[in-house]
Amino acid sequence: GRLSRSQLSKEQVQVYLREESNKRKHLLEKYIRLCNDSKVVVDTMLVESNDATGKAILELIHIANITNLVMGTKQSPLSR
- The DSSP annotation for the chain comes to ----GGGS-HHHHHHHHHHHHHHHHHHHHHHHHHHHHTT----------SS-HHHHHHHHHHHTT-S---------GGG-
- As a whole number, mean pLDDT of residues 10-18 equals 90
Distance CA 69, CA 61 (A): 9
- pLDDT above 60 for 80: no
Q: Write the pLDDT tens digit of every residue in 36-79.
A: 999 988 888 777 767 677 788 888 888 888 888 777 666 655 55
